[in-house]
Amino acid sequence: MSTERRFASVEDLGPLVREALGEKLERVERLRGGTKKGVYRLMFERGPSAVLYVWADAENFWGAGADKGRSEMGLFLAAHQEFSELGVRVPELRFVDGSGRLYPAEVAVVEDVRGGTLEQRLGSDDGSMERLAEHLQRMAGHRSAGLGEVGPVKAGEGRSETCPEVVLGWALKDLGEAAGRVEAISQKRTAFEELLHGMAGGIEPRTEHALIHGELGPDHLLMDDGGEPVLIDIEGARFFDVEWEHVFLRIRFGERYPKLRVEGLDEARMRFYRLAQHLSLVAGPLRLLDGDFPDREFMMGIVRQHIGEALSFVQGPCVGGDLRIGRFPG
Protein backbone atom coordinates (compact mmCIF):
# COMPACT_ATOMS: atom_id res chain seq x y z
CA MET A 1 0.00 0.00 0.00
CA SER A 2 2.94 2.38 0.59
CA THR A 3 3.41 2.78 -3.20
CA GLU A 4 -0.19 4.00 -3.48
CA ARG A 5 0.15 6.84 -0.99
CA ARG A 6 0.66 10.24 -2.54
CA PHE A 7 1.25 13.15 -0.20
CA ALA A 8 0.75 16.82 -1.01
CA SER A 9 3.41 18.80 -2.89
CA VAL A 10 4.08 22.48 -3.54
CA GLU A 11 2.38 22.10 -6.91
CA ASP A 12 -0.71 20.53 -5.32
CA LEU A 13 -1.06 23.17 -2.61
CA GLY A 14 0.00 26.31 -4.46
CA PRO A 15 -3.50 27.25 -5.71
CA LEU A 16 -5.06 26.67 -2.28
CA VAL A 17 -2.47 28.84 -0.54
CA ARG A 18 -2.71 31.59 -3.15
CA GLU A 19 -6.50 31.85 -2.98
CA ALA A 20 -6.95 31.18 0.74
CA LEU A 21 -4.05 33.16 2.15
CA GLY A 22 -2.88 35.42 -0.66
CA GLU A 23 0.62 33.99 -0.37
CA LYS A 24 3.02 32.33 -2.79
CA LEU A 25 4.01 28.92 -1.48
CA GLU A 26 7.77 28.35 -1.50
CA ARG A 27 8.27 25.08 0.39
CA VAL A 28 6.22 22.34 2.04
CA GLU A 29 7.41 20.11 4.89
CA ARG A 30 5.32 17.11 5.89
CA LEU A 31 5.50 16.77 9.67
CA ARG A 32 5.63 13.38 11.35
CA GLY A 33 3.27 11.92 13.90
CA GLY A 34 -0.22 11.98 12.40
CA THR A 35 -2.15 8.75 11.78
CA LYS A 36 -5.52 10.11 10.53
CA LYS A 37 -4.53 13.38 8.86
CA GLY A 38 -1.56 14.87 7.08
CA VAL A 39 0.17 17.78 8.80
CA TYR A 40 2.26 20.10 6.62
CA ARG A 41 4.33 23.18 7.39
CA LEU A 42 3.74 25.80 4.68
CA MET A 43 6.60 28.23 4.04
CA PHE A 44 6.00 31.36 1.98
CA GLU A 45 8.15 33.82 0.10
CA ARG A 46 7.15 36.41 2.70
CA GLY A 47 5.38 36.33 6.03
CA PRO A 48 5.34 33.71 8.81
CA SER A 49 4.84 30.03 8.09
CA ALA A 50 1.55 28.23 8.69
CA VAL A 51 0.42 24.64 9.24
CA LEU A 52 -1.99 22.77 7.00
CA TYR A 53 -4.17 19.86 8.11
CA VAL A 54 -5.34 17.49 5.37
CA TRP A 55 -8.00 14.86 6.08
CA ALA A 56 -7.54 12.64 3.03
CA ASP A 57 -7.62 8.87 2.53
CA ALA A 58 -3.94 8.92 1.53
CA GLU A 59 -3.08 10.47 4.91
CA ASN A 60 -5.12 8.03 7.01
CA PHE A 61 -3.06 5.04 8.16
CA TRP A 62 -6.12 3.46 9.79
CA GLY A 63 -7.54 2.71 6.35
CA ALA A 64 -9.73 4.64 3.96
CA GLY A 65 -12.92 3.17 5.46
CA ALA A 66 -12.14 4.21 9.03
CA ASP A 67 -14.91 6.46 10.44
CA LYS A 68 -16.48 6.64 6.98
CA GLY A 69 -19.15 9.31 6.68
CA ARG A 70 -17.80 11.36 9.60
CA SER A 71 -16.30 14.79 8.97
CA GLU A 72 -13.00 15.00 10.83
CA MET A 73 -12.83 18.68 9.88
CA GLY A 74 -16.24 19.15 11.50
CA LEU A 75 -15.04 17.50 14.70
CA PHE A 76 -11.93 19.70 14.64
CA LEU A 77 -13.91 22.92 14.19
CA ALA A 78 -16.39 22.11 16.96
CA ALA A 79 -13.59 21.26 19.38
CA HIS A 80 -11.58 24.32 18.33
CA GLN A 81 -14.53 26.61 19.08
CA GLU A 82 -15.22 24.95 22.43
CA PHE A 83 -11.62 25.18 23.65
CA SER A 84 -11.27 28.76 22.37
CA GLU A 85 -14.44 29.93 24.13
CA LEU A 86 -13.23 28.27 27.33
CA GLY A 87 -9.89 30.08 27.16
CA VAL A 88 -7.85 26.93 26.52
CA ARG A 89 -5.15 27.69 23.95
CA VAL A 90 -5.36 25.98 20.53
CA PRO A 91 -3.67 27.08 17.27
CA GLU A 92 -5.35 30.10 15.72
CA LEU A 93 -7.51 29.21 12.73
CA ARG A 94 -6.68 30.91 9.41
CA PHE A 95 -8.72 29.02 6.80
CA VAL A 96 -10.97 25.96 6.39
CA ASP A 97 -12.53 24.32 3.35
CA GLY A 98 -14.51 21.13 3.02
CA SER A 99 -15.79 21.67 -0.50
CA GLY A 100 -12.89 19.99 -2.31
CA ARG A 101 -12.70 22.94 -4.71
CA LEU A 102 -9.15 23.99 -3.81
CA TYR A 103 -7.86 20.57 -2.76
CA PRO A 104 -9.53 17.13 -2.98
CA ALA A 105 -9.97 16.73 0.79
CA GLU A 106 -11.13 18.59 3.88
CA VAL A 107 -8.41 21.07 4.85
CA ALA A 108 -7.65 23.63 7.55
CA VAL A 109 -4.81 26.15 7.84
CA VAL A 110 -3.75 27.10 11.35
CA GLU A 111 -1.07 29.08 13.14
CA ASP A 112 2.39 27.51 13.13
CA VAL A 113 3.33 27.24 16.81
CA ARG A 114 7.12 26.98 16.77
CA GLY A 115 8.07 26.69 20.46
CA GLY A 116 8.48 22.90 20.37
CA THR A 117 6.46 20.35 22.32
CA LEU A 118 5.89 20.22 26.06
CA GLU A 119 7.63 16.83 25.89
CA GLN A 120 10.87 18.66 25.07
CA ARG A 121 10.51 20.84 28.17
CA LEU A 122 9.54 18.28 30.78
CA GLY A 123 12.86 18.54 32.60
CA SER A 124 12.73 22.33 32.86
CA ASP A 125 11.17 24.49 35.55
CA ASP A 126 9.57 27.12 33.31
CA GLY A 127 6.02 26.94 34.66
CA SER A 128 4.59 25.10 31.63
CA MET A 129 3.25 22.24 33.75
CA GLU A 130 1.52 24.70 36.05
CA ARG A 131 -0.11 26.44 33.08
CA LEU A 132 -1.25 23.08 31.71
CA ALA A 133 -2.72 22.26 35.12
CA GLU A 134 -4.76 25.48 34.92
CA HIS A 135 -6.13 24.42 31.53
CA LEU A 136 -7.05 21.01 32.92
CA GLN A 137 -8.86 22.54 35.88
CA ARG A 138 -10.86 24.73 33.51
CA MET A 139 -11.74 21.76 31.29
CA ALA A 140 -12.74 19.59 34.27
CA GLY A 141 -15.15 22.30 35.42
CA HIS A 142 -16.73 22.75 31.98
CA ARG A 143 -19.70 20.36 32.02
CA SER A 144 -22.41 19.06 29.71
CA ALA A 145 -25.32 16.72 30.25
CA GLY A 146 -24.56 15.30 26.79
CA LEU A 147 -21.95 12.61 26.26
CA GLY A 148 -19.68 12.19 23.25
CA GLU A 149 -17.65 14.24 20.79
CA VAL A 150 -18.12 17.98 21.05
CA GLY A 151 -19.83 18.55 17.69
CA PRO A 152 -22.56 15.91 18.07
CA VAL A 153 -23.21 16.92 21.69
CA LYS A 154 -23.63 20.57 20.71
CA ALA A 155 -26.04 19.47 17.96
CA GLY A 156 -28.10 17.50 20.49
CA GLU A 157 -26.86 14.17 19.12
CA GLY A 158 -24.82 12.85 22.04
CA ARG A 159 -24.56 9.18 22.88
CA SER A 160 -27.34 7.46 24.83
CA GLU A 161 -25.09 5.09 26.81
CA THR A 162 -23.29 5.92 30.05
CA CYS A 163 -19.52 6.44 30.10
CA PRO A 164 -18.86 3.04 31.74
CA GLU A 165 -21.02 1.36 29.08
CA VAL A 166 -19.13 3.12 26.29
CA VAL A 167 -15.76 2.16 27.76
CA LEU A 168 -16.86 -1.43 28.32
CA GLY A 169 -17.79 -1.69 24.64
CA TRP A 170 -14.44 -0.26 23.58
CA ALA A 171 -12.53 -2.51 25.95
CA LEU A 172 -14.27 -5.74 24.90
CA LYS A 173 -13.62 -4.95 21.23
CA ASP A 174 -9.95 -4.19 21.94
CA LEU A 175 -9.66 -7.33 24.07
CA GLY A 176 -11.00 -9.46 21.22
CA GLU A 177 -8.51 -7.97 18.77
CA ALA A 178 -5.61 -8.27 21.20
CA ALA A 179 -6.50 -11.86 22.09
CA GLY A 180 -6.46 -12.73 18.41
CA ARG A 181 -2.88 -11.50 18.12
CA VAL A 182 -1.19 -11.99 21.51
CA GLU A 183 -0.95 -15.48 22.99
CA ALA A 184 -0.63 -14.33 26.61
CA ILE A 185 -3.80 -12.22 26.37
CA SER A 186 -5.65 -14.99 24.55
CA GLN A 187 -4.91 -17.34 27.45
CA LYS A 188 -6.42 -14.85 29.93
CA ARG A 189 -9.34 -13.66 27.82
CA THR A 190 -12.07 -15.04 30.08
CA ALA A 191 -10.44 -13.50 33.15
CA PHE A 192 -10.24 -10.14 31.37
CA GLU A 193 -13.90 -10.32 30.32
CA GLU A 194 -15.08 -11.11 33.83
CA LEU A 195 -12.94 -8.35 35.31
CA LEU A 196 -14.13 -5.74 32.80
CA HIS A 197 -17.80 -6.56 33.33
CA GLY A 198 -17.34 -6.52 37.10
CA MET A 199 -15.56 -3.17 37.05
CA ALA A 200 -18.14 -1.55 34.78
CA GLY A 201 -21.05 -2.89 36.80
CA GLY A 202 -19.73 -1.34 40.01
CA ILE A 203 -19.66 2.25 38.68
CA GLU A 204 -22.59 4.64 39.06
CA PRO A 205 -23.32 6.71 35.92
CA ARG A 206 -23.12 10.49 36.07
CA THR A 207 -25.51 13.11 34.75
CA GLU A 208 -22.77 15.61 33.80
CA HIS A 209 -19.59 15.15 31.82
CA ALA A 210 -16.39 17.21 31.56
CA LEU A 211 -14.64 18.46 28.44
CA ILE A 212 -11.60 16.29 27.73
CA HIS A 213 -9.00 16.12 24.96
CA GLY A 214 -8.85 12.31 25.06
CA GLU A 215 -5.17 11.73 24.21
CA LEU A 216 -3.39 14.54 25.98
CA GLY A 217 0.21 13.42 26.06
CA PRO A 218 3.15 15.86 26.15
CA ASP A 219 3.57 15.37 22.39
CA HIS A 220 0.05 16.76 21.82
CA LEU A 221 0.98 20.05 23.47
CA LEU A 222 3.01 22.71 21.68
CA MET A 223 4.48 25.76 23.40
CA ASP A 224 3.89 29.26 22.07
CA ASP A 225 6.26 32.22 22.33
CA GLY A 226 4.70 33.25 25.62
CA GLY A 227 5.24 29.85 27.22
CA GLU A 228 1.58 28.85 26.98
CA PRO A 229 0.71 25.19 26.23
CA VAL A 230 -1.24 24.84 22.96
CA LEU A 231 -3.46 21.77 22.44
CA ILE A 232 -3.23 20.03 19.07
CA ASP A 233 -4.85 16.90 17.57
CA ILE A 234 -8.16 17.95 19.09
CA GLU A 235 -10.58 16.09 16.79
CA GLY A 236 -11.25 13.49 19.50
CA ALA A 237 -12.22 16.05 22.16
CA ARG A 238 -15.45 15.07 23.88
CA PHE A 239 -17.64 15.43 26.93
CA PHE A 240 -16.87 12.40 29.05
CA ASP A 241 -15.82 11.22 32.51
CA VAL A 242 -12.83 13.35 33.44
CA GLU A 243 -11.10 10.18 34.71
CA TRP A 244 -10.60 9.00 31.11
CA GLU A 245 -8.37 12.04 30.51
CA HIS A 246 -6.48 11.60 33.73
CA VAL A 247 -5.72 7.92 33.18
CA PHE A 248 -4.04 8.87 29.91
CA LEU A 249 -2.23 11.79 31.54
CA ARG A 250 -0.92 9.48 34.27
CA ILE A 251 0.30 6.96 31.69
CA ARG A 252 2.06 9.59 29.58
CA PHE A 253 3.41 11.96 32.24
CA GLY A 254 4.49 9.28 34.74
CA GLU A 255 6.11 10.69 37.86
CA ARG A 256 5.24 14.25 36.80
CA TYR A 257 1.50 13.53 36.70
CA PRO A 258 0.73 14.66 40.30
CA LYS A 259 1.21 18.29 39.16
CA LEU A 260 -1.74 17.82 36.79
CA ARG A 261 -4.21 15.92 38.99
CA VAL A 262 -7.59 17.55 39.66
CA GLU A 263 -9.79 17.11 42.72
CA GLY A 264 -12.62 14.60 42.97
CA LEU A 265 -11.35 11.78 40.75
CA ASP A 266 -13.06 8.42 41.31
CA GLU A 267 -10.46 5.70 41.83
CA ALA A 268 -12.82 2.90 40.72
CA ARG A 269 -13.27 4.66 37.41
CA MET A 270 -9.53 5.32 37.18
CA ARG A 271 -8.73 1.61 37.58
CA PHE A 272 -11.38 0.46 35.08
CA TYR A 273 -10.38 3.07 32.51
CA ARG A 274 -6.69 2.28 33.00
CA LEU A 275 -7.25 -1.37 32.04
CA ALA A 276 -9.36 -0.28 29.07
CA GLN A 277 -6.63 2.08 27.88
CA HIS A 278 -3.90 -0.56 28.23
CA LEU A 279 -5.98 -2.88 26.03
CA SER A 280 -6.52 -0.05 23.56
CA LEU A 281 -2.78 0.61 23.45
CA VAL A 282 -2.24 -3.02 22.47
CA ALA A 283 -5.02 -3.38 19.91
CA GLY A 284 -4.75 0.08 18.33
CA PRO A 285 -1.06 -0.06 17.37
CA LEU A 286 -1.50 -3.63 16.10
CA ARG A 287 -4.29 -2.39 13.80
CA LEU A 288 -1.96 0.29 12.48
CA LEU A 289 0.77 -2.29 11.91
CA ASP A 290 -1.58 -4.31 9.69
CA GLY A 291 -1.10 -1.48 7.20
CA ASP A 292 1.93 0.48 6.09
CA PHE A 293 2.44 2.80 9.06
CA PRO A 294 6.12 3.75 8.81
CA ASP A 295 7.34 3.97 12.44
CA ARG A 296 6.89 0.28 13.13
CA GLU A 297 9.47 -0.23 15.89
CA PHE A 298 8.02 2.64 17.90
CA MET A 299 4.51 1.17 17.65
CA MET A 300 5.71 -2.30 18.59
CA GLY A 301 7.38 -0.85 21.67
CA ILE A 302 4.02 0.60 22.75
CA VAL A 303 2.35 -2.79 22.17
CA ARG A 304 4.88 -4.70 24.28
CA GLN A 305 4.72 -2.21 27.15
CA HIS A 306 0.94 -2.30 27.38
CA ILE A 307 0.67 -6.08 27.04
CA GLY A 308 2.58 -6.28 30.30
CA GLU A 309 0.50 -3.54 31.93
CA ALA A 310 -2.77 -5.22 30.94
CA LEU A 311 -1.66 -8.66 32.10
CA SER A 312 -0.76 -7.24 35.52
CA PHE A 313 -4.51 -6.85 36.18
CA VAL A 314 -5.15 -10.59 35.90
CA GLN A 315 -1.86 -12.26 36.86
CA GLY A 316 0.22 -9.78 38.83
CA PRO A 317 3.25 -7.93 37.44
CA CYS A 318 4.43 -9.39 34.13
CA VAL A 319 8.03 -10.51 34.45
CA GLY A 320 8.39 -12.51 31.27
CA GLY A 321 6.32 -15.31 29.86
CA ASP A 322 4.92 -15.73 26.38
CA LEU A 323 4.42 -12.34 24.76
CA ARG A 324 4.56 -13.69 21.23
CA ILE A 325 2.65 -11.47 18.84
CA GLY A 326 1.09 -12.96 15.76
CA ARG A 327 -2.28 -14.33 14.73
CA PHE A 328 -3.77 -16.77 17.20
CA PRO A 329 -7.28 -18.07 17.66
CA GLY A 330 -9.12 -15.60 19.93
- What are the residue boundaries of the structural domains of the chain, listed by start? 2-111, 118-315
pLDDT for 171 equals: 98
Q: Which residues contact 237 (CB under 8 A, 6 or more apart)?
A: 75, 79, 82, 83, 149, 150, 211, 212, 213, 214
Asked whether the domain spanning 118-315 has the same topology as the one spanning 2-111, the reply is no
Per-run averaged pLDDT (10 residues), the chain, 330 residues:
74 94 95 87 92 93 68 96 98 96 96 93 86 96 97 95 98 97 96 98 95 95 94 97 98 95 95 98 93 86 96 72 54
Q: For residue 261, which of 140, 146, 120 has the smallest C-alpha distance?
A: 140
pTM above 0.85, yes or no: yes
Q: For residue 105, which of 13, 202, 27, 175 has the smallest C-alpha distance?
A: 13
pLDDT for 317 equals: 53
The per-residue pLDDT of the chain, averaged, comes to 91
The pLDDT tens digits for 182-241 are 999 999 999 999 999 999 999 999 999 999 999 999 999 999 999 999 999 999 999 999
- H helix runs in 49-112, sequence order: 72-86
Q: Measured in Å, how far apart are the chain's first and last C-alpha atoms? A: 27
pLDDT for 5 equals: 82
- Return the CATH fold of 118-315: Aminoglycoside 3'-phosphotransferase; Chain: A, domain 2 (3.90.1200)
Type of residue at 304 = R
pLDDT for 4 equals: 72
Dihedral through CA 216, CA 104, CA 58, CA 169, nearest 10? Answer: 50
User: 276 and 170 in contact (C-beta within 8 Å)?
Assistant: yes
User: 185 and 206 in contact (C-beta within 8 Å)?
Assistant: no
- Return the CATH fold of 2-111: Phosphorylase Kinase; domain 1 (3.30.200)
User: 221 and 117 in contact (C-beta within 8 Å)?
Assistant: yes
